[in-house]
Amino acid sequence: MDGLLRVWFEDHGRDLPWRHTRDPYAILVSEVMLQQTQVERVVPRWRAWLGRWPTVDALAAAQTGDVIREWQGLGYNRRAVNLQRAARVVADSGWPERLDALPGVGPYTAAALANFAWGEDVLPVDTNVRRILERTGGDLPPDLTQALFDLGATVCLARVPRCDRCPLAGTCPSRGRHYAPARRQSPFAGSFRERRARLLRAVAEQPIALASADREAAESLARDGLVVIAASGVSLPT
């Protein structure tokens, strides 16, 4: 099984820019951006981010408001704040032995950093990897993580897997199966999430008077560290 996947990956693997570095900071930026955001959207934003803040020290020293502005359009803006908080920890104390001690870094991201930056023998299990392991019953090694990512993203799809294209189909016990759609998130239009996003976009342009702001959305954003509420109005943090 391992050999078949390796051969497939040589021919079909995606050429993504963060796969050409061992810099833990650059890898952390990619992993945080890729959380719930499509790869195609992340590639140019990752390059732009590293062009502006090429090192962990540069991001740590940045104005938080500028970090939030740069993140606009990627969604889930709290990720940007946590990314900078993590950068400040590293700039101050170095990379911790337990990577999941960093703000916003959970078990998956910690495993991805350990594998891709330091070559540790640990398998980062995201949704795609978990799906393949469950369907195949396989026990695949950590050095095939990128191949598993690509197989899950392009072939072993959630609802209708493309088994005719899969290098593991010959021994896969789930070959030919289709799956019920995953539970969808509630619509964005008209939601509280949309209200938060609308207010944050406006504040990113210029501070807003408190009287004209969506107070509930502002308080929610403030709890996440994305805005500051003062008597003068709502603004981005400095």
Q: Is the CB of residue 48 less than 8 Å from the CB of residue 71?
A: no
Q: Decide if 141 contacts 127 (C-beta within 8 A).
A: no
Burial class (CB in 10 A: 0-12, 13-18, 19+), 41: middle
Segment (H or E) for 230: strand 228-230
Catalytic-labelled residue, pool 10, 31, 97, 194: 31
Classify residue 2 as exposed, middle or buried by CB count within 10 Å of its CB (0-12, 13-18, 19+).
Answer: middle
Two structure tokens written together for 2: 């391992």
C-alpha distance across the termini of the chain, in Å: 52
How many residues comprise the chain? 238
How far, in Å, CA of 227 to CA of 141, rounded? 43
Q: Is 134 a catalytic residue?
A: no
Q: Provide the greatest CA pair distance for the chain.
A: 66
Strand partners, 230: 233
> Token pair of 36, please?
């719930």
24 CB-side CA count, 13 A:
22
Q: What is the token pair recorded at 44?
A: 């140019």
Which residues are known to be catalytic? 31
